[in-house]
Structure 1
């Protein structure tokens, strides 16, 4: 599957989980585009699409610039365990609508290496001087 097809696959599965569409059965590279288009006629996929777009991990890849919106490079794990990245547009002020921008067409495959690291958290408090001294 292409990165865009993987995103469509994840969106379809999320829409099934939200009970917005019926379970389409097996989703393959050959039928994912048709299934996505068939179920996207009356906004059935809108909630699932926004959920996938907004629940992602930030990456450190360069992003395009816009005069009206901010942009981060992000990624999410797909149903097959692979990772796909895209540009997450946000901001725009009161009348902005960054979710309307086409974010799926520029999706790309990624590799991800995970490692657990130990961190140290420090909490400081101010020492109050003893007034009796």
Structure 2
């Protein structure tokens, strides 16, 4: 039995290896059957934008857009409300199924029993 996993990514193309690692872990957890919630904050919010997902250009790495799709298809993608507002991103801009939510929602999630939270 797997426990729920919350993966929070706080960086984007400015830290490609760290961002890719968070996306890869989230995608691998979905593939393993875990309940995954991917939280995108700071410049990581661009990973949740339809047709705006940055190409991290990392050799030997699955493209970020493909990893987001894996998570989206089997988990939940959430974009930080303050971070989205600062970048003029609305829910209409997001990939299908993604949502915008704030710190209170993240806190509520990670305080649930058995949830494992990872921050990249």
TM-score by length of 2: 0.27
TM-score by length of 1: 0.26
> Greater CA radius of gyration, 1 or 2?
1
Greater RCO, 1 or 2 (C-alpha within 8 Å, sep 6+): 2
Structure (1 or 2) with the greater helix fraction: 2
